[in-house]
Each structure stands twice: as C-alpha cells, then as structure tokens.
Amino acid sequence: MKITSTKTRTALLLATALGLLLASVCSAQTATSGNPGAAPAQTTATPAPADGSTKPHDDTFVIGVDDVLNINVWKEPDISRSIPVRSDGKISLPLAGEMQAAGQTPRQLEQLIATKLQSFISEPEVTVIVQEIRSQRFNILGQVSKPGSYALTNSMTILDAIAVAGGFRDFAKQKSIYVLRQNPNGDPIRLPFNYKEVVKGKNTAQNIKLEPRDTIYVP
C-alpha cells in the first residue's frame, strides 16, 4: 500500500508539472499571436501620408512666367521634375506634352496634368509646388546704386527694396521717395515714403509691403 501511494503521488506530481508546462506554452503562444495583430495596424498607418490627400496650397497665387515648379507624379520618377515656366507661359512634361501653366493656380495645374496623364497612368496623383517665385517683380528707379527690376519675395517692404538695390546715391532725396502702384481698376496711385522718418521710428506705416509691379522712385 505504501508503494502504491508513493506511485500515486508521483503520478499526481507529474500530471501537475505537465499541466503547468502546457499552461505556460499556451500563454506564450497567446502573447506571440497578439503581436502580429498590432503590427498590421502600424503597417497600414505608415503609407497614409503618401496618398497625396494633404497638399499645402495657396489658391490665391497665380503661376507666372519664369516661376520654377516642382511637379511630382506619385510613383512616376521619370515624369516628376523641377521645371521653369517658359516665356510663352507653357511647360512640357513626358506623356502629358505641352500645357499652359501661366495664369493658373497650382491646384488647377495639378488637375490639368492629371487629366492629360489619365490615358497613360491609372488614377495619377499629381502635386505642383511653386519652388521659386520669379514672375512677381518690382522696379526701383532713380538715385539708388543698382536701379532695375527685382524678384519680389514674401513680405518685402520699401526698406527691403532699397537694401536690395544697394542703398542710396550721394544726392538722393531720401524724404521724397514714393511708390507708384496701380489700383484694381488700373488707375495709378502715388504712395509717399519718407526714409528719414521711418529709420527714426516715426510714421513706420509708410514702410508698406510691396506688391507685384510696384515701382519705387528715389528722386
């Protein structure tokens, strides 16, 4: 009877150990099987930015001659490129051919390019970004070191323009500067600018932000 009891206890211990081992294996399998479930969520989220659904645009900007455009056609590196707008206002792309770019917004040009590519590419994703603005210019004339026509950058003021033109010549009338600008109806207006006052911190509102085709005259 003692031998039988010993054998019984041994069998019970083996069964208990086997049960614990099986439970540990099952727990490990469950933990392992849970990780692949999380991985697909990351895989699905990763390509999301590539769908081109969020494109920064300023729909008020109109493309002009000499502007440099960065054109990207998703998954089509042979078509994607940086290209300047020609003097006739057109650009040329492989497959799409020639098309009018000047006078259109970037979004309008995207739609035009996509339409032309539809015969060759299924659902083309096109992004147009103005890489360099060269079409918007201002003029500065008179008693400055380097009079001429210059590219107009964002938020450029009269003081910025004078600096770009190399500053004043010796006999410049710094109190009598003015800007010639056209109203929407085409009539010219004259905006006075007293350099002496502005640099002293007086009437700084005179230092206006320039607009395309403004002409600064320094007598």
Q: What is the mean pLDDT of each run of 10 residues along the chain (219 residues)?
A: 52 58 53 46 39 53 93 96 96 97 96 96 95 92 96 90 97 97 88 97 96 95
Give the pLDDT score at 27: 52
Of 128, 185, 195, nearest in space to 161 by CA? 195
Give the pLDDT score at 8: 55
| DSSP secondary structure letters along 84-149 | EPPTTSEEEETTTEEEE-TTS-HHHHHHHHHHHHTTTSSS--EEEEEEE--S-EEEEEESBSS-EE
Give the pLDDT score at 116: 96
Element (DSSP H or E) covering residue 179: strand 177-182
What's the chain's length in residues?
Answer: 219
CA atoms of 136 and 130, how far apart (whole Å)? 12
For residue 167, give Cα distances in angstroms to 4, 145, 171. 112, 6, 12
Residues 162, 209, 152, 88: is their CA dihedral positive or negative? Answer: negative
Give the pLDDT score at 59: 79
Give the pLDDT score at 24: 55
Is the Cβ–Cβ distance between 124 and 118 less than 8 Å? yes
CA atoms of 41 and 36, how far apart (whole Å)? 9
